[in-house]
Amino acid sequence: MDTIQEYRMLKRRWVESRGEEREQVQKELDVFFDSLDEAERRQVIEAVDDDFEAIHQCIEEAKDLKLRSQMEQVLPFLSISALAKHYFGKSASWFYQRLNGNIVHGKPCRFTPEELEKVKFALNDIKDKLSATVSNI
């Protein structure tokens, strides 16, 4: 078994274990890490970096799904074309690509943190305009 496979196997066992079993696996991990030479340490560090990148990817995907599900009930009442053009200077397809996480140029589209703030601002602005309209009726 190569170094990365052993690391992933021990990591999986550690995640799935509890109590005394986890303590035992932790000892095995300590022995494993202590036994690595410099090249193997770099390999494991790269594997850990890959794990963190995958975790961050999952978090971003979850954020995108959350935004989509939160907007789902109001989308039929909004002109996404007008929203995208007025608040972003972009097209409706641009907005939907990000909202739906479409793959463009081999990568999923997402709103940047700044664009998410603009989405919040836009929805609050629309809310305020609707409230003012209702108050004037």
Tally of CA atoms within 13 A in the half-sphere of 70 that contains its CB: 11
Strand residues in the chain grouped as ranges (E): 103-104, 107-108
Show me where the domains of the chain are located.
Answer: 1-64, 73-137
pLDDT digits (tens, 9 = 90+) for 20-29: 999 999 999 8
pLDDT digits (tens, 9 = 90+) for 51-65: 888 887 777 766 666
**Cα(10)–Cα(70) distance, rounded to whole angstroms?**
38
Question: In sequence order, what are the beta bridge partners of 104?
Answer: 107
Continuous H helices in the chain: 3-16, 19-34, 38-71, 80-83, 92-100, 113-135
pLDDT digits (tens, 9 = 90+) for 92-131: 999 999 998 888 888 888 888 899 999 999 999 999 999 9
Confidence at residue 62, expressed as pLDDT on a 0 to 100 scale:
65
